[in-house]
Every structure is written in structure tokens, then in C-alpha cells.
């Protein structure tokens, strides 16, 4: 059985370039050529990729580059600031990114909230306890802006917002995600990230149970529990957690991906699942790691598909 046949029809498996080159910690993989990343990603059996900091940001250059390696563009992270600015300002900022995603055939845009973060040159270097939160009214106002922004994206670009719950951002905990999504319009999509859920202290299945119909993009990352315990116990920063190896590819940590496979098959999910591990490539060689990650995920599906 080929790797494509091991997944349900309409479900595609992609890989993030973060295993090769970190987007924030530029010393991690800074000397790794983009060609190596794309070549190894394709050799490992993936169908697509998300954007990374070394990727060209114009369709004329990026499209043939991906085609050369037999890869599609699954999506790309956008650092939004709707927690602290208005929709019109955000709309001007997102234009070039949204145009690129549309040109490459993407259906969703990964939205990470970088507004209302700890006041620092690099917020992700702040200790976990320094994270800022929104009050009930602030969260409600934020939801209104997100919904308006998503509606514009769909209307003008045919792209749906995939909201990324994320450590150190305003929707980290299960309670905060619920506080936001319970008042958001139903059209706004949710990105399910298995690793960020666990690191935030909750089982990702709670998001499936509550918002399964709104999940439109999936990030597959694992967590090393001993490192997570040390990160929390010492109140380390997000960046320090990445350097310490808290996140890993599926199969290298403690997360059970079987329930995710159940959800994908039983719900009829259509879209991308993206293996993602923010870790030091010098400590964890990317090619071998992402091959293990793909094998771990695909191993979850044959028995599930057989009884579906």
C-alpha cells in the first residue's frame, strides 16, 4: 500500500520546514539550504509543505520550485494582530500573504495571534508565566474582529482562516479557546495542534469533541513529557522549550494519535494534516525524523479505515 492509499480520500499529508530551519530561532538550521529541505521532504513521502522563512514569497518563483520537488503548498503562517488593532489595518497587512496563498491553490490560512503578547523584543523569550490574557469583553471584541477578517478572506480570496491555538498567545488554554470560539461565528475555522494542546495542559480530543466540525487544518506534533515537565517546573520561555526539545515528530513523544485518526475517518475531514516539529536539526536530523513522523501517523489509519 502506498502512503497516499493509507489515508482517506481527500486527506493529504504535509510537512513543515521547521524540522530543518526554525522561523524564529535563526541559528537553528540557518545554514540548511532550502533545496535540501524540499528534497528531503519529498523523499520522505510528503505531498506538501507549509511556508518557512527561507521560502520565496512570490508565486512566480515559489510555484515552479515546489513543482520541481513534487510538492504542493498546504498553507502558511500569518502573524496577525487583531487582538490589538482593527480589521482595516490587518487587511492591508495580509494582502501579499493572502495573494500568495491563493495563487498556490491554498484553501486555508494559518492565523497566529501575535497581538497582546508580553511586552518584549522577543515575546517568545518571556517566561511562560509572563503571558498576557484578555478579559471577557476584550475576548468578545476580539472575536468580532476575527469574524469580520475571516469573512473578508473568504469573500476576496476564497481562503478560510484556520485559527492556531498556541502557547504564549491569547488562546492557549482550553478555557480560552472555548471563550473565543463559543462567541465566534461558525464559519471561522480552527487549526487543531496536538502538541500545543498537550503543552497547554489539555487533551486535544476535547477540541475534537467540542469543535470537530470547525477543524479545517491539523498540525501533528508530539511532546516529550520529561522536557515539558522541566519547562513548566522551571518556568522556561517558549523559545527555551523549543531548544530543549519539548516538541517532536509524532512517535517520538507521548501523544496518542489514534483518536485523531478516528476523527479524520469518521468525520469525513477533508484537507491537510501537517507533521511539524520545532526542534534543533543538529540534535535531531530532519530527514530521519520526518520519515518516522510520517510512518507513525500512517500506521494509525489502516485499522481505522478498515472498520469505517
Residue 21 region by backbone torsions, left for phi larger than 0, else alpha for psi between -120 and 50, else beta: beta
Q: What is the pLDDT of residue 304?
A: 59
**Cα atoms found within 13 Å of the Cα of residue 298, Cβ hemisphere only:** 19
Task: Name which of 274, 282, 276 is nearest 252 in CA terms.
Answer: 276
φ, ψ of residue 214 in degrees (nearest 5)? -100, -5
Which grid cell sits at 148?
469580520
Contacts of 258 (CB under 8 A, 6+ apart): 300, 304
| Chain centre distance of CA 285 | 21
Q: What is the pLDDT of residue 288?
A: 98
pTM of the model: 0.96
Residues of the chain with pLDDT under 70: 1-5, 118-123, 303-308
- Map out the domains of the chain with their CATH numbers: 11-307 (3.20.20.150)
Burial class (CB in 10 A: 0-12, 13-18, 19+), 92: exposed
Q: What is the pLDDT of residue 117?
A: 82
Q: What is the pLDDT of residue 246?
A: 97
Q: State pLDDT tens for residues 141-197.
A: 999 999 999 999 999 999 999 999 999 999 999 999 999 999 998 899 999 999 999
3-state DSSP assignment of residue 145: helix
Residue 177 sits at the vertex; the CA angle it makes with 171 and 180, to the nearest 5 degrees, is 95
DSSP-assigned letters across all residues of 236-301 = -BHHHHHHHT-EE-TTSSS---HHHHHHHHHHT--EEEEE-----TTTS-HHHHHHHHHHHHHTTS
Do the Cβ atoms of 189 and 215 come closer than 8 Å? yes
**Cα Dmax for the chain:** 52
Contacts of 138 (CB under 8 A, 6+ apart): 83
Q: What is the pLDDT of residue 119?
A: 63
Q: What is the pLDDT of residue 2?
A: 46
Amino acid at each position: 500500500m502506498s502512503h497516499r492509499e493509507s489515508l482517506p480520500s481527500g486527506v493529504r499529508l504535509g510537512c513543515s520546514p521547521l524540522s530543518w530551519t526554525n522561523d524564529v530561532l535563526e541559528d537553528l538550521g540557518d545554514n540548511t539550504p532550502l533545496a535540501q529541505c524540499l528534497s528531503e521532504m519529498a523523499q520522505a513521502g510528503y505531498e506538501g509543505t507549509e511556508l518557512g522563512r527561507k521560502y520565496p514569497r512570490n508565486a512566480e518563483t515559489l510555484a515552479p520550485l515546489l513543482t520541481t520537488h513534487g510538492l504542493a503548498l498546504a498553507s502558511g503562517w500569518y502573524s496577525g494582530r487583531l487582538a490589538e488593532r482593527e480589521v482595516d489595518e490587518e487587511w492591508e497587512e495580509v494582502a501579499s500573504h493572502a495573494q500568495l496563498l491563493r495563487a498556490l491553490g491554498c484553501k486555508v490560512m494559518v492565523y497566529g495571534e501575535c497581538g497582546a503578547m508580553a511586552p518584549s523584543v522577543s515575546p517568545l523569550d518571556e517566561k511562560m508565566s509572563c503571558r498576557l490574557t484578555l478579559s471577557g469583553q476584550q475576548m468578545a471584541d476580539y472575536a468580532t474582529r476575527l469574524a469580520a477578517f475571516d469573512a473578508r478572506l473568504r469573500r476576496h480570496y476564497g481562503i478560510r482562516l484556520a485559527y492556531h491555538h498556541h502557547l504564549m498567545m491569547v488562546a492557549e488554554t482550553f478555557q480560552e479557546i472555548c471563550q473565543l470560539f463559543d462567541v465566534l461565528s461558525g464559519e471561522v475555522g480552527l487549526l487543531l495542534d496536538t502538541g500545543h494542546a498537550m503543552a497547554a495542559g489539555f487533551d486535544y480530543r476535547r477540541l475534537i469533541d467540542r469543535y470537530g466540525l470547525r477543524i479545517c487544518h491539523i498540525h501533528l506534533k508530539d511532546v516529550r513529557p520529561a522536557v515539558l515537565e522541566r519547562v513548566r517546573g522551571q518556568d522556561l520561555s517558549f523559545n527555551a522549550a523549543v531548544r530543549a526539545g519539548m516538541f517532536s515528530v509524532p512517535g517520538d513523544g507521548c501523544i496518542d494519535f489514534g483518536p485523531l485518526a478516528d476523527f479524520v475517518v469518521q468525520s469525513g475531514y477533508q484537507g491537510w494534516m501537517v507533521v511539524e516539529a520545532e526542534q534543533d536539526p543538529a540534535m535531531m536530523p530532519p530527514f530521519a525524523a520526518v520519515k518516522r513522523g510520517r510512518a507513525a501517523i500512517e500506521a494509525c489509519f489502516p485499522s481505522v479505515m478498515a472498520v469505517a
